[in-house]
Chain A
Amino acid sequence: MSQSPQATGTRAGGGIPPGLLLFGRGVLRVIPVIAITIFGLLLVTFVIGRFMPQDPVLAIVGDRATAEVYQRVYLELGLDQPIWTQFWIYAKKAMVGDFGISVLTTKPVIEDVGRYFPATLELATSGTFIGVLFGVPAGVLAAVYQGRWPDYVVRFVGLLGYSAPVFWLSLMGLLIFYANLGWVSGPGRLDVGYQDLVDEVTKVVIIDAIIAGEWEVAANAFSHLILPATVLGYYSMAYISRMTRSFMVEQLRSEYITTARVKGMSEAKVIWRHALGNIAVPLITVIALSYANLLEGSVLTETVFAWPGLGQYITSSLLNADMNAVLGGTLVVGVTFIVINIFCDILYRLVDPRAK
C-alpha cells in the first residue's frame, strides 16, 4: 500500500480514491491471466466437442438430408479446414457469444442461456443468503466455544453438509416438507395457475411479481423457492461456518483481543466488532467462492426441483446429445466461475498486502 504511485498514468486525476486506483491496477494485472484461462477454457471445450461420438453435420441436417446438403453444411462448419483453423473459428464465434444453435430448442444457445441463467442466479443468490445468515453466526459460536459442545454441534452439522448428496437431500426435502407436511410448494418456479401473469422485467419471478404488485404470485414464487434455496444454503452454510470458525479461532488468540478484554471492553463487542471486523475480507472471499460453488451445486438441485435454470439446461441437453448447448452452457458457467474467483483474488490482495 505504501508504494509510490509512479505508474498511475496521466488520466488518473486526483479525484479517484487510492483504493479504487489500486483495484484498477489489480484488474489490469490479472487481464492476461483471465485471457489465458479463458483461452484454456475454449481449448478444453473445443477438444470435448471434437471427441463427441455423433456427427456434428448429421446433428444439424438430420438423417434424411441429401449428399449436397450434407456437403454444404460440412463446408459451412469449416470441417474441411485444418484443426487449428477450426479452433480459431470456434474461438472467434464463442468470444462474441455465438455458440451455435441448440438442436433441442432450435434457438441460438446464447438466447437459451439468457433465458435460463436468471433462474440459476436467483437460486444461487438465495442459497448464499441463507448460508451466510446461518453460517457466519454458527462459525463465530463454534470459535468462541472452541472444544465445547456448541463447537462440536456446529462442526458435525457442517460435516453432514459435506457428506450428503445434494440430489438426495433435495428429494428428502420434497418428501418431508412438500408431500408430508405441505409447508412448501413442489417442483418448478410457480404453480401452473400463476404462470405468465406478470411481465418479465428482471426475469427473477419474485422481484417481477413485486414490481407488478402481484403479491399472491410473489408468495407462490417464494413457497417454490424456499426449499431448493434452503438445500443449497445448507451446503453453503457448511463451508462458510467451517471457514468462519477457523478465521475466528486465529483472531481470538491474537494479542489485540487480550488488550481489548483487559481494557474492559464487553465480550460481545470484542467478538462481533473487533474479531469479526478483522476477518471481514477473507470472509467475503469465502462467501464469493461458495457462491461460485453453488452455481455448480445447482446442476443437481435444479434437476430434482424441475427448476428451469442453466444446470437443468445443461443436463437435459446432455441427455439429448445436444452438444452446442452443453458446451455453450459449460463455457458460460466456467467464465462466471473464473470472474468470481479472480475478483476474490484481487479483493484479497488489495486489502491484505501479505498475500502478495
Chain B
Amino acid sequence: MSTTASTGLKAWLLTSEPKSRGQARLGQTYRRWLSFRRNPLALLGLAIVVGLILVALFADAIAPASPIVQDLSHRLQAPGGQYLLGTDDLGRDILSRLIYGSRITLYIVGLVIIIVAPVGLAVGTISGYFGGWIDTVLMRITDIFMAFPRLILALAFVAALGPGLENAVVAIAITSWPPYARMARAETITLRNSDFIAAARLLGASRTRIILGHIVPLCMSSLIVRVTLDMAGIILTAAGLGFLGLGAQPPNPEWGAMIAGGRKFIIDQWWVAAMPGLAILTVSLGFNLLGDGLRDVLDPKQK
C-alpha cells in the first residue's frame, strides 16, 4: 500500500499539469531536490549543516560534561578514554566545549544574516529599480565598503566598539552587506524592464508593492545561494576575531578563542588548539559544499 501511495505522491509532484499554484511550487521544489540528491558532495554539506544545528539544539543532552566548570586535577589530558578529545589547561572537556560552541557559531552566522540580507536586498533593489542619482549614491557607498579589506575593517570597528560577541557580529555585518546589495541590484536591473513588471505598473501597483511583491521574491534564490556560501566566510571572520581576543570573551567556548587558548601548548598538547580548528574547518566546509550544491540547483546559469 505504502509503495502505491508514494508513487501516487511522486506522480502528483512530478505532473506536467499541476492543478494549483501550491502543487506547482511543491513539484518544482521536489525536482530540485531530485537533482540536488545526485550530488554526493552537496549531500555531505547538507548533512554537516543539519548535524551542526542538531548538536546546537541538543547540546545539553549530548555534551558529556560542563563547558565552563574547571577541573584542575585533570588538566591537559590527552584525547581518548574518559575525555574523547582531551581537556584544556583548565581541565575542561574539549568535546563538551565544542558542542556548546556550536551554539555560538550558529548565533553569530544567524544574527549576521538577519542583519545583512534585508539591508543588502533593500539597498540593491532600491538602487536598481529607481536608477539615476539614487543608484549612483547608493552604489558609491557600497563601493567604499567593498574597497576595505573585510577583516581589517571589522578589526577597526571592534576597536571602536570594544571587544565582545555582539560587537563582533555588528562589525562583521557592517562589512558583509555590500556584495548582497550588488547582487540584488544586478537582478533588479534585469527584471526592471520585463513585461510582467510593466503589466503590474499598468495595473497601478505602487513601487513598494512592485519591489516587495515582484522583485524581491525573484531575488530569493540567488540570495539563498549567496548566504550559504557566505556563511563559511562569516564563520572564519568570527573565528579570526575570537582568535585575536576581540570576539566572544572567556569562559565562552567560542572556537576561535579556544584555538588562541591552545596556542601556548601547541608543541606538547597539540589537541587543545587542533580540535576547535577541525570543528571550524568541518562546519565551513559543510556550508561551502551545501552552497555549491544549491547554486547548481537554484542558479544554473552561474554553473
B-binding residues in A (CB < 8 A): 33, 36-37, 40-41, 44-45, 48-49, 51-53, 156, 159-160, 162-169, 171-172, 174-175, 179, 292-293, 295-297, 299-300, 303-304, 314-315, 318-319, 321, 323, 326-327, 330, 333-334, 337-338, 341
Contacts and interface: CB of A to CB of B under 8 A. Distances in A.
Contacts of B189: none
A165 B283 CA distance: 11
Interface in B209-252: 232, 236, 239-240, 243-246
Contacts of B266: 171, 174-175, 179
B52 to A, nearest CB: 13
Interface string B126-169: 00000000000000110111011111110111111110000000
Contacts of A303: 243-244
Contacts of B236: 163, 165-166
B156 A326 contact: yes
Contacts of B263: 171, 304
Interface residues of B, number: 46
Nearest to B270: A175
Contact of A164 (B143, B150, B155, B281): B281
Contacts of A293: 149
B256 to A, nearest CB: 7
B150 A315 contact: no
Interface of B: 41, 140-141, 143-145, 147-153, 155-162, 232, 236, 239-240, 243-246, 256, 259, 263, 266-267, 270, 273-274, 276-277, 280-281, 284-285, 288-289, 292
A8 B180 CA distance: 39
A130 B140 CA distance: 34
Contacts of A318: 155, 158-159, 244, 246
Nearest to B283: A163
B288 A51 contact: no
A237 to B, nearest CB: 16
Which residue among B140, B156, B232 has the maximum number of chain A CB atoms within 10 Å of its CB? B156
B140 A314 contact: no
B274 A330 contact: no
6 contacts: A49-B160, A51-B161, A163-B236, A164-B277, A168-B273, A300-B240
A152 to B, nearest CB: 8
Nearest to A40: B144
Contacts of A168: 259, 273-274, 276-277, 280-281
Contact of B151 (A156, A172, A299, A334): A299
The 5 A-B residue pairs whose C-beta atoms are closest, nearest first, are A40-B144, A168-B277, A296-B149, A51-B160, A163-B284
A179 B246 CA distance: 28
A300 B144 CA distance: 23
Nearest to B274: A172
Given A160-B285, A318-B159, A338 B240 contact: no
